[in-house]
Amino acid sequence: MAPTDSENSPIVVIGFGPVAARLVDSLLPAVRSGALSLTVIGDEPHPAYNRVLVADLGVGRTTAADIALADRDELEAAGVVLRLGVCVRRVDRARQLVHLSDGSAVQYGRLVFATGARPVVPNLARLNPDPQLPIRLPAGVITLRNLDDAATLHRAVQGRRRVVILGGGILGLEAALAAADEGARVTVVHHGPHTLGRSIDANAGKVLAAALRARGIRVAANSRSTGVLLGQHDGGAPASGAGPDGAAVPNSGTGLDGGTGLDGGAGSGSGTGPDSAILPDGGTGPDGGTGVPASFSALELDDGTTIDGDLLVLSCGVRARTEVAAGAGLATGRGILVDHGLQAHHDPQVFAMGDCAEVRCLDEQCADCRGSTGPSGLIGPGWRQAEWLARVLLAGVLPPGAQPSGAQPSGAQPAGPPAALAPEQPPVIVLKARGVDVAAAGNVAAEPFDEPAEGADPGHTAGTLQAAPPLNVSTWADPEHGQYLKMATRAGVLEGFVSVGMPRAGAELVLLFERGSELPADRSELLRLDAAGMPAAAGGAPDGTVCRCAGVDRQTIAAAVVGGCGTVAEVSAATRAGTGCGGCHGEVRALIEQHFQPAPA
Amino acid sequence: MTLTVGTGPATSGAAPGPSTSNVSPGPATHAAATHAATTHAATPEIASRDFPTNRGGLCRKGWTSAALLGHPERLTSPLIRNENGELSPASWDTALDLVAARLKATREQHGPDAVGVFGGGGLTNEKAYQLGKFARVALGTSRIDYNGRFCMASAAAAGNRAFGVDRGLPFPMEDLDSAHTILLLGSNVAETMPPFVQHLQGARNSGGLVVVDPRRTATADFTADGAGLHLQPVPATDLPLLLGLAHIVIHEGLADKEYLASRTSGYAGVVRSVAPWWPEHTSRITGVPVTLLRETARLLAAGTRNGGTYILSGRGVEQHVDGTDTATAAINLALLLGLPGSAHSGYGTLTGQGNGQGGREHGQKADQLPGYRKITDPAARAHVARVWGIPEAAIPGPGLPAVELLASLGQPGGVRAFLVHGANPAVSAPDSARVAAGLRALDLLVVCDFFLSETAALADVVLPVLQWAEEDGTVTNLEGRVLRRRAAVSPPSGARSELWIMAELARRLGSPGTFSPDPEQVFTELRAASAGGLADYSGIDYPLLDSGEAAYWPFPAGSTGTPRLFRERFAHPDGRAVLVPVSPASAGSGPGSGLLGHDAGTRDPLFAGATLALATGRLLEHYQTGAQTRRVPELAAARPNARLLIHPATAAARGIADGGPVAVANMRGEVRCTAEFSTAMRLDTVFLPFHFPGLQSANLVTSSATDPVSGMPEFKTSAVTVAPVSAPTPAGGPRHGAD
């Protein structure tokens, strides 16, 4: 349905993370021109920053200024109203009001949830003694999602301290590799036989484990942790930032605190809810009250052993922040439920995008929604949603002259609603690490000589009798050199792949998987991409050409030499060989020398 | 007789004086000097001479350029289409009277903007200047643009935006010799400008040559054996690649903060705009491994401390719907590293056509007046009106960029009479079948050329003109250095200078102002018109050039010119360079932040189903539409027809044989040619040269979508299907019998 009365009514965005920042960027020209009114509410005191890079920030590889995605002054100068450092208490959909933690309320015409996700805090002894209460992380325990977490990690890395990463997922590994590279002593503790358990197969896991060990990272596989041990640190604990730091933690006041945070740093998964959920304000939480807070000293495992450390980084996945939406009566599942137009169920004025949104429409027969597994946790889909939603919000609003920079004023029309948002492809993971190349996607469980599963073929569509083509698997393994590749294809198109230690092949496979393109029948073409010496460029000069520039072949030069040319200059004068770029002088010289060499006795 | 090569003073003792000339319309680095002979002998010979840009080097096109002079297919008489629809010879008076009468009638019936003019980047400065003036003053039309819109427009727009001025290389080419790192973006100089390759040797020796090209070209091969890196991105992902490199420069602390603070503005905005382009994300979009991205950024930064770093862009990254933004991203990267205006570093763009630089400075462009002035600037208009001796109000406003101009041919309210100078849009323009239909729909098409090009073959009147060694004038090379061209041989009788043609038509049209047929007089007027503009030529004259002086603009009267721009300040009023944040369009929408369904800026959706990305480009043996080089026997024999480069695995999946006939098709048209296997291609990309006409014309399938800032068409990326065909290729001749 076309927006009518809501066209010029205010847009309110809850959350100011990377996905919200993309939406704001896209709406900015219309705000600047006065065609739109826009308010952005964020519970962190800073404008959006690239949460994906928080681990890099935590190991000192970048600065907070360089990961900024928005500038407060620029946005305010354009007319955007920023409400930062406040939480949303509740949304009154009947009156179209957003009530904030500071007691004020904001009227909306259209409301966008970009509240992101928050990290899952596992149930560990002494981490959260009272399950009825919001979680307060002890000193020396962090999730890695905001600037304060990064600062805490940075102190640990600078002090070359012992960092324990709980979780063998992609974000945990990225943090582990970065911290180890920058000098921390790192242990990764994870379930299952190998890291990235949900994304790569066992062989890839072995190659990856070797790469981790080579970088000095201890890996505790098949480990179930049961609790944390807290002790009084002998000073210099890196953990102070992890305490309930009132300055950094907004005052929420209620358990229904702001779902206002950051839409998720999806790719980083550390991009999760604000600490305010985990570290509620002192008003309601039990205030430890013990004076000097105890700090993390070790992780307890179920076999009774412990892993000592100075800092524990929890990297155990994320969960969508849906409390405010749920409190407003919106349907939620793994996220706020939206249709394919990102519109909340039964409320055309409310939208959700990014890590807090689950696309599942009201049509129970919808094929696209049948396999929904909730928010992807990746940044790419969130950004695509933000760009698309901006076009929806701008439909019919944008007057000529308010185009984004670069567009020509002439011939600009108010934009119509965009074509439907394409459903997201299955996620691809690319490990963000220096010198360890891992990319994977899809189903990588199948092995080369597996028997085809009877009747359970996922390629078999209901109502058709035609059997789907078989799943074929090709692999390449060279553990000594840290290389492993698996490609699972159906009719030549990838259903899954994993690539370790093969950067070029991995990069191409990502593209081929995302496009659904057919692989070359000769799969070794992909292996060759990582070959050390690439063959000379083909498609250039015909065989035997010595001088490409002038198009002179070996025979002509040899004839000139026979005819009396004894120097490169003479050959050039006679044949023009070597008169362009000069790159063939060596070869011409060799031909001359060859001719004048004494014949073998 | 002998024509010597190089663009410095002639060294041949037989010459009565120093003489220089430029091979038209090949790249200005192929500059050839003429041994001043005045008789029209049999085919003259080309000889080598040292000059800083090419060091005496020439490629095959230069060596064989004399074959064009006395070519049997030269046009030697005006041609008028007769009642049988054939072009038949006519006298100059008859032809010019007819053209003038038809132009007048069109103007009276449909208004001045019903007459259009299309120029070329191969025209001398004098002709380019006079053509712009002729359009505005004698024809009173705003509808003038030129084929440079198809090559330099994006780089020019980006340069103006960032630096306040656009000069291909703001430094002499020799400066490159001592560089440690050179990043070459989308430029296959080994084939398109071979003598230039000598200037890459220093960077190769230090392992610092980085070539970005989806094809492993001959130039990319120069990076082998430790000479540097080849980055082979997915077609149309140059902009993300450059944003990713900028991200690494910023986040690895490689940016020159002091330079950014003192010499630029806009840094913070660029930091925010590249924050989303961390290496792994960039790699996912471009297919370039993260390690190569990081190595590239570090090489770029290392160069600044060891002899210098240069970033050079070519058509490969510029001929896109986001070409201006891509060139801007390259400039941003250069500014982050502190290159432009530094002693041994810089950014530049490699100009293509014979006068690609000068041709874009003096008024052939729809939005421009001489001296690189804006036609919308009241002060510029007043100045030029004074020089032209007409009221300011008589100068029309901005016209239409080339693609829009060509799209208006024969359309209601569009151009009905069209004059073409030094261009062959029937082959060179994107979506060429539509352009050819537009050319056929005109009331009057007049083409000035020295061969019967594919465009001339559609004309109502063809006027034979002079070529490189037959005329006096100046051209400006890619360094902004003004070079003299001298008449060395007599033209065929019957051919005339375009300056003379414009003067004759202006007289017949009763035009105000003066139109001299004498190049030196026109140059004198150009100097006055350019005075005070960005491209100020007022201090340059023919005697100065004849003395061998290296004259780089801006060269205001009383100065000694400017070999190196930006040493003290950039050309913006505050003296600072501007970093302009750019970002890629989201899929299926226009450039910018992708808010508008701006059809003009929409690139084909790529890689849907079995479609491949088609890139078009040049071969060593030809330039432009091949209208000249295909007539040189040696070049035609080496490259007689179009061959589609395709990876063997990609071909195998389609049942295509090496050397077999293929159809390259999309909704716009179909090209027929032969396949040539090449492992230098990406699996998802094919390459086709654009030098061939008819069914082999690459532009039958290119899109007329354009960059919203520069008007540059999307030449470099079209979605196509490729399939074997059983019929022989058109050039293969009819097949006899069954096999």
pLDDT score recorded for residue A372: 73
Q: Is the pLDDT of residue A272 over 80?
A: no
pLDDT band at A424 (very low <50, low <70, confident <90, very high): confident
Q: How far apart are CA B76 and CA B491, in angstroms?
A: 9
Q: Which of B181, B212, B387, B204 is nearest to B314 (CA)?
A: B212
Q: What's the farthest any 2 CA atoms get from each other in chain B?
A: 76
In terms of phi and psi (left: phi > 0; alpha: psi -120 to 50; beta: otherwise), the region of A51 is alpha
In angstroms, the CA A299 to CA A280 distance is: 24
A216-255 residues touching B, CB cutoff 8 A: none
Q: What is the three-state SS of B519-550?
A: HHHHHHHHHHHHCCCCCCCCCCCHHHHHCCCC
Measure Cα distances from B679 to A526, A529, B555 in Å.
12, 11, 48
Beta bridge partners of A440: A429, A498
Secondary structure percentages of chain B, helix, strand, coil, to 5:
35, 15, 50
Q: How far is it, in rounded angstroms, from Cα B447 to Cα B417?
A: 11
Q: Under CATH, which number does the domain B155-349 receive? A: 3.40.228.10
Element (H, E) at A430: strand A428-430
Can you give the pLDDT at residue B362?
Answer: 95
Mean pLDDT of A431-458: 83
Q: Residue B708: which of A407, A515, A536 has the nearest Cβ? A: A407
3-state class of B256 per DSSP?
A: coil
What does the pLDDT read at residue B596?
A: 30
Same fold, A437-448+469-528 and A545-596: no
Query: Which of B195, B290, B586 is the closest to A387 by Cβ?
Result: B586
Q: Using CB atoms, which residue from A387, A411, A536 is nearest to B594?
A: A387
Q: Identify whether the C-beta of residue B440 lies closer than 8 Å to the C-beta of residue B138.
A: no
- In angstroms, the CA B403 to CA B68 distance is 29
What is the chain A residue with the closest CA to B622?
A549
Q: How far is CA A248 from CA A147, A243, B120, in A?
A: 9, 10, 63
Question: Which positions in chain A touch B708 (Cβ < 8 Å)?
Answer: 406-408
CA distance B250 to chain A (A): 7
User: Could you tell me whether strands A318-320 and A117-119 are parallel, antiparallel, or unpaired per DSSP bridges?
Assistant: antiparallel
| Nearest C-alpha in B relative to A405 | B592
CATH number corresponding to B79-151+355-552: 3.40.50.740
* Contact: A70, B57; criterion CB under 8 Å: no
Could you tell me the pTM of the whole model? 0.88
A550–chain B Cβ distance below 8 A for any pair? yes
A100-141 pLDDT, tens digit per residue, is: 999 999 999 999 999 999 999 998 998 876 666 666 789 999
- CA dist B480 → A86, B182, B339, B359 (Å): 57, 20, 19, 11
Confidence of residue A371 (pLDDT cuts 50, 70, 90): confident
Return left, alpha or beta for B45; rule: phi > 0 is left, psi -120 to 50 is alpha, else beta: beta
Give the C-alpha separation, A48 to A42, whole Å.
Answer: 9
pLDDT band at A548 (very low <50, low <70, confident <90, very high): confident
**Confidence band, pLDDT 50/70/90 cuts, at residue A426:** confident
Q: Is the pLDDT higher at A150 or at B598? A: A150
Contact B57 A549 (CB under 8 A): yes
Cβ atoms of residues A497 and A441 within 8 Å: yes
Chain A interface mutation, best of B596, B623, B644, B684, highest count of A Cβ atoms under 10 Å: B596
Which has the higher per-residue pLDDT, A380 or A500?
A500
Closest-CA residue in chain B for A526? Answer: B683
Please state the three-class secondary structure of B721-736 as a single string: EEEECCCCCHHHCCCC
First CA to last CA distance, chain A: 93
Q: Which CATH superfamily is domain A119-247+285-317 in?
A: FAD/NAD(P)-binding domain (3.50.50.60)
User: Please, where are the H alpha helices in B306-395?
Assistant: 315-318, 323-336, 378-388
Q: Report whether the peptide linkage leading into residue B554 is cis, meaning its omega lies within 30 degrees of zero.
A: yes
CB contact under 8 A, A521 and B276: no
Question: What does the domain layout of chain A look like in residue ranges?
Answer: 11-116+321-394, 119-247+285-317, 437-448+469-528, 545-596
- Whether the Cβ atoms of residue A42 and residue A15 lie closer than 8 Å to each other: yes
- Beta-carbon separation of B591 and A406 below 8 A: yes
The residue of chain A with its CA nearest to that of B246 is: A66
Distance, CA of A328 to CA of B563 (rounded, Å)? 68
Q: Quote the pLDDT of residue A573.
A: 87
Q: Are A261 and A118 in contact (CB under 8 A)?
A: yes
Task: For residue B323, give how far its alpha carbon lies from the nearest alpha carbon of chain A (Å).
Answer: 11
What string of DSSP letters covers B469-524?
A: GG--EEEE-TTSEEEEE---SPPPTT-B-HHHHHHHHHHHTT-SS---S-HHHHHH
Q: What gap in Å lies between CA A342 and CA A336, rounded to an integer?
A: 10
pLDDT, residue A128, reads 74
Using N-to-C axis directions, what is the helix angle for B238-251 and B279-286, rounded to 10°?
170
Ramachandran class of A183: left when φ > 0, alpha when ψ lies in -120 to 50, beta otherwise: left
The DSSP element (H or E) to which A525 belongs, if any, is: helix A524-528
Q: Where are the domains of chain B?
A: 79-151+355-552, 155-349, 599-732
A54 CA: distance to closest CA in chain B (Å):
12
What pLDDT is stored for residue B15 in this prediction? Answer: 28
Distances (CA, A) of B28 to B11, B31, B293, B484: 20, 5, 33, 12
Whether A409 shows a pLDDT value over 50: the answer reads: no
How much is the average pLDDT of A412-423?
Answer: 66
Closest CA to B581 of B183, B161, B153: B161
Chain B stretch 250-279, residues whose beta carbon is closer than 8 A to a beta carbon of chain A: 250-252, 268-269, 271-272, 275-276, 278-279
DSSP states of B542-598 as a string?
Answer: HHHHHTT--EES---TTS---SS-SSS--SSTTS-EE-----PPPTTS-STTS-S--
| Domain A545-596 fold | Arc Repressor Mutant, subunit A (1.10.10)
Residue B194, chain A, CB below 8 Å: the answer is yes
A437-448+469-528 homologous superfamily: FAD/NAD-linked reductase, C-terminal dimerisation domain (3.30.390.30)
What is the CATH code of the structural domain delimited by B599-732? 2.40.40.20
Cβ of residue A584 closer than 8 Å to a chain B Cβ: no
In CATH terms, the fold of domain A11-116+321-394 is: FAD/NAD(P)-binding domain (3.50.50)
Q: What is the pLDDT of residue A422?
A: 80
Please state the three-class secondary structure of B321-340 as a single string: CCHHHHHHHHHHHHHHCCCC
* List of residues 6+ apart from B129 with CB closer than 8 A: B362, B363, B370, B522, B525, B526, B529
- Residue A66, helix vs strand vs coil: helix
What is the predicted pLDDT for the residue at A454?
55
**What ipTM does this complex have?**
0.84
Angle (nearest 5°) at CA B713 between B675 and B408: 115
User: B196 and A581: CB-CB below 8 Å?
Assistant: yes
Under-70 pLDDT residues of chain B? 1-43, 586-601, 727-739
Of A70, A514, A582, the CB nearest to B198: A582
Three-state SS at B677: strand
**Cβ contact, residue pair B290, A437, below 8 Å:** yes
Give the pair of three-digit tokens for residue B340. 């432009």
* B251 contacts on A by Cβ (under 8 Å): 53, 56, 61-62, 66-67
